[in-house]
Every structure is written in C-alpha cells, then in structure tokens.
Amino acid sequence: MKDISLQRHPAASARASSDTEKTTEERIRKKTLTGNLNAAGFRFGIVVSRFNEFITERLLRSAYDGLLRSGAGEKDIQIVRVPGSFEIPSAARTLAETKKYDAVICLGCLLRGDTAHYDVIVNEVTRGIGQSAQETGVPHAFGVLTCDTLEQAIDRAGLKMGNKGFEAALAAVEMANLKKAITRKKARSSQQSAALTNKAVSSQPSAISQSMAKKASSRQPSAFSKSTRENRSARSKKRKSKS
C-alpha cells in the first residue's frame, strides 16, 4: 500500500514564509518607538575638554555642524569648556539639572600613557557620564575618544574613521526625539486609563451613594405608616369630641 501525502509546493512554502515575515515585521514596526534626526525645537548642551585640544576642537566643530545640519538653531546650543575629560561628567550634570536642555553632548580625548592614570580616568569619565544621564533623565551623548595613540585619535576626529563628534551630535538629536516620543506615549496611556476609570465610576453608583440613598429612604415615612398615623389621629379626635 502506497503512502500518499500532500506536500506543499516549495514556491507556496516560500510565499507563506515571506508573508509570515512581513506580518511579523509589520507588528514589530507598530510596536517600535524610534527617534528621528530633526533637532528643530530642541536645546543642546556641549561639554568639551580643552586637554588634547588639537583633537577636541575638531570634535566640537563637527558636533556643532551636525546639530545645525539637523535643524537646531544657534541660540539653542550652549558650549561649555572644561580643563580635562575628568571634569566632563560634573559639567554635564550641572547642565542637565537645569532642565533647560533636551540632551548633552560630551566631547573629550584620552590618550594612553605609560602609567595606569589612563585607565582610571577612562573608567571614571564613562561611569560619571552614564550616571548623570540616568539620574537626571536627560540623554547624554558619549563623544569622548579613548585611544592608544594620537594617530587613532586623529582618524576618529575627521579622517579614516569619520568624526565621533558628528556621530555624538546625531545620537543626541535622536535620543531627544525618542524621549519626547516616549513621554507622549506615556501621557496618552495615562489619559486613556483616567478616562476608563471615570467612565466606570460614572456608570456604577458608589457604595457611599448607595448607603446615603438607603439612609434617606429610611428617614422617609412609607404610605402605610402615614395612613396609620392619620387613622389614629382621627380616632383620637372622636374620643375627645364624645367626652
């Protein structure tokens, strides 16, 4: 006896798989929040280190240009200079705590030397910038170069590896937009929850209202009680008239 089974044509299977992938991608797209690269209407703070100025000035110029190209106004950009990269987190936090800026861009350059000083500073700067962003709620873009040689830093300040200052500026713009999108979504969710709560409360009388209604009804005499009192009053008047 032959076992005859129906098998899907390879082309049909491929189409089904493609349709499933498209459906999944569409669901993911609807559930995804992203920030765009439109800087119009946002304010940005830039903290830049003077140490290794040959590199940091290139980062600054490129970051500034990136913000302008994204639509930011010159009046919406504040530049703060600090002595070295170690001071960047403190200045960035001070800017963020004013709540006047939608994002802070941190620019600096650290080059490895002969001692452990480099590793200590790198760790502290990275930790400080991240902590400032988390505790203030203001996005911080990390544009601090941590390189072994000057050549590596030059490559990342406008040559072979692009310009990390420009990249940090774009990251700041995107994160400012993303934060705005998340805040709006949260506000809409809160409004919808409040509307549903109000609707539920208005459609069902509260326990207090029910209790007050019962007390009010207990205070009001019933028709039977009123009739009984009237009959008693009439009989009392008859007795008095006979006497």
Residue 1 has pLDDT above 60, yes or no: no
Q: Name the residue ranges covered by the structural domains of the chain.
A: 44-74+85-115+122-176
Taking CA atoms, 55 is separated from 2, 126, 199, in Å, by 78, 19, 61
Tokens of 232: 């008693």
Q: Let me know if domain 44-74+85-115+122-176 sits in CATH 3.40.50.960.
A: yes
Tens digits of residue pLDDT in 22-75: 788 888 888 888 888 999 999 999 999 999 999 999 999 999 999 999 999 999
Residue 85 has pLDDT above 70, yes or no: yes
pTM of the model: 0.71
- Given the residues 8, 27, 100, 117, select the one marked as catalytic: 117
Tens digits of residue pLDDT in 140-164: 999 999 999 999 999 999 887 799 9
Residues in the chain: 243
Q: What is the pLDDT of residue 20?
A: 75
Q: What is the DSSP letter of 194?
A: H
Tens digits of residue pLDDT in 170-227: 999 999 999 999 998 877 777 676 667 766 666 665 555 566 656 655 655 555 555 6
Q: Is 117 a catalytic residue?
A: yes
Give a three-class secondary structure readout of 138-163. Answer: CCEEEEEEEECCHHHHHHCEEECCEE
Average pLDDT over residues 125-134: 98
Q: What is the pLDDT of residue 124?
A: 97
Distance CA 62, CA 165 (A): 6
Q: What is the pLDDT of residue 44?
A: 99
Residue 169 has pLDDT above 70, yes or no: yes
